[in-house]
């Protein structure tokens, strides 16, 4: 066979690449397309409310279906504060568990702990919500809130009657729901830190904890931040469990004991009973706002992170 013939045969064997590349390109294009389609559908369905309330929708605190006056400020507040509270609790807790799992745990104990962490992530949110109503809420009302009030009651954050139902409980339950994400992802990125990095610190006379702090955490930084983003996204969008314990009152109160409301919760609660077209449009507009808030928070967080922290640069070979 001639050389040219062999080359030609080789190229015809490779024609399988074309359709495969095309297929992958279509798959990759599907993601932005779906996002675009959701956005367009939301805007279209919300347009009566957008025309009526405009940008004022974001900064108005009235939510009055009877008078058909709608504004989502308290819902935005409730969504952001409950998620922030959740991260405040879940990040240290989740990182602690992850460090334990990645650095300290004896081999035989790793599997059971990992199993329970994954189990926590697998519990349906409505079940967590039930647990919240029957166990967490009474405990917060009779134990946690009175304790916070008696010790830190001078702060507006911990003032007012201990109701059990409210922002604090929502934050706690969200924390329980996002901890598994932080643990699972952070453990993996920490375990992926090369042994040479740990040994570099140990050889300098670092203790176990110093090694974690100087060699492991900085190296795993970008992955841990990714884990926190994932947790944040979950917390912002979580509906069921939050609805069941937050109290569902659209108000902005300094106290974490007070009931509040979130955007996902109001959509879930009121969509079936929304009778007028404007009411439905307002709820969809609220959904659009959640979309915007989520994207904005993520973008902001990313921007912040890229300013202060970069991942490990590639080590040159």
Binding site for another protein (CB under 8 A): 107, 194, 196-197, 199-207, 210, 214-215, 218-219, 221, 309-317
Q: In the complex, what is the shortest distance from the CB of residue 315 to another protein, in angstroms, rounded to a whole number?
A: 5
Least distance between another protein and beta carbon 317 (Å) = 6
HEC sequence for the chain: CCHHHHHHHHHHHHHHHHHHHHHHHHHHHHHHHHHHHHHHHHHHHHHHHHHHHCCHHHHCCCEECCCCEECCHHHHHHHHHHHHHHHHHHHHHHHHHHHHHHHHCCHHHHHHHHHHHHHHHHCCHHHHHHHHHHHHHHHHHHHHHHHHHHHHCCCHHHCCCCCCCCHHHHHHHHHHHHHHHHHHHHHHHHHCCCHHHHHHHHHCCCCHHHHHHHHHHHHHHHHHHHHHHHHHHHHHHCCHHHHHHHECCCCCCCCCCCCECCHHHHHHHHCCCCCCHHHHHHHHHHHHHHHHHHHHHHHHHHHHHHHHCCCCCCCCC
* Nearer of residues 46 and 201 to another protein, judged by Cβ: 201
Please state the closest distance from residue 168 (CB atom) to another protein, in A.
36
Measured between alpha carbons, how far is 9 from 38 in angstroms, rounded to an integer?
46
Q: How far is the CB of 231 from another protein (least distance, A)?
A: 22
- Closest CB to another protein among residues 17, 317: 317
Taking the complex as a whole, the smallest distance from the CB of residue 205 to another protein amounts, in Å, to 3
Which one, 198 or 253, has the nearer CB to another protein? Answer: 198
User: Would you say 204 or 299 has its CB closer to another protein?
Assistant: 204
Which residues 6+ apart lie within 8 Å of 138 measured at CB?
164
Cβ-contact 90, 171 below 8 angstroms:
no
Closest approach, Cβ 111 to another protein, in A, equals 15
Tokens at 77, concatenated? 């507040």
Identity of the residue, 170 or 189, whose beta carbon is nearer to another protein in the bound complex: 189
Q: Report in angstroms how near the CB of residue 190 gets to another protein at its nearest.
A: 14
- Reading the block at residue 22, the tokens are 């095309």
Residue with smaller CB distance to another protein, 199 or 277:
199
Least distance (Å) between residue 48 CB and another protein: 51
Cα(280)–Cα(92) distance, integer angstroms: 40
Name which of 153 and 312 has its Cβ closer to another protein: 312
Between CA 38 and CA 31 the distance in angstroms is 11
Please say which residue, 1 or 308, places its beta carbon nearer to another protein.
308
């Amino acid at each position: 066979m001639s050389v040219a013939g062999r080359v030609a045969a080789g190229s015809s064997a490779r024609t399988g690449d074309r359709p495969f590349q095309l297929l992958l390109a279509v798959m990759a294009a599907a993601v932005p397309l779906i996002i675009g389609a959701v956005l367009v559908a939301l805007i279209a369905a919300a347009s009566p409310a957008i025309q009526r309330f405009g940008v004022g929708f974001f900064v108005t605190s009235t939510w009055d279906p009877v008078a058909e006056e709608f504004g989502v400020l308290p819902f935005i507040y409730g969504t952001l504060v409950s998620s922030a509270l959740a991260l405040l609790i879940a990040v240290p807790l989740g990182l602690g568990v992850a460090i334990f799992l990645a650095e300290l745990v004896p081999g035989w104990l790793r599997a059971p702990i990992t199993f329970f962490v994954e189990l926590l992530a697998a519990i349906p949110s409505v079940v967590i919500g039930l647990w919240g109503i029957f166990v967490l809420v009474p405990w917060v009302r009779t134990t946690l809130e009175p304790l916070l009030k008696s010790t830190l009651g001078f702060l507006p954050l911990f003032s007012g009657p201990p109701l059990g139902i409210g922002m604090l409980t929502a934050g706690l339950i969200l924390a329980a729901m996002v901890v598994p994400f932080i643990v699972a992802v952070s453990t993996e990125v920490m375990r992926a830190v090369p042994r040479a990095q740990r040994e570099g610190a140990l050889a300098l006379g670092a203790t176990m904890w110093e090694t974690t702090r100087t060699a492991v955490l900085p190296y795993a930084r970008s992955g841990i931040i990714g884990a926190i983003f994932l947790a944040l996204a979950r917390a912002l969008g979580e509906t069921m469990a939050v609805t069941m314990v937050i109290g569902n009152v659209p108000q902005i109160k300094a106290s974490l004991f007070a009931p509040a409301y979130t955007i996902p919760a109001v959509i879930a609660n009121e969509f079936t009973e929304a009778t007028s077209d404007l009411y439905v449009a307002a709820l969809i507009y609220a959904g659009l706002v959640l979309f915007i808030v989520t994207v904005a928070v993520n973008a902001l967080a990313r921007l912040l992170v890229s300013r202060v922290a970069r991942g490990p640069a590639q080590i040159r070979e």
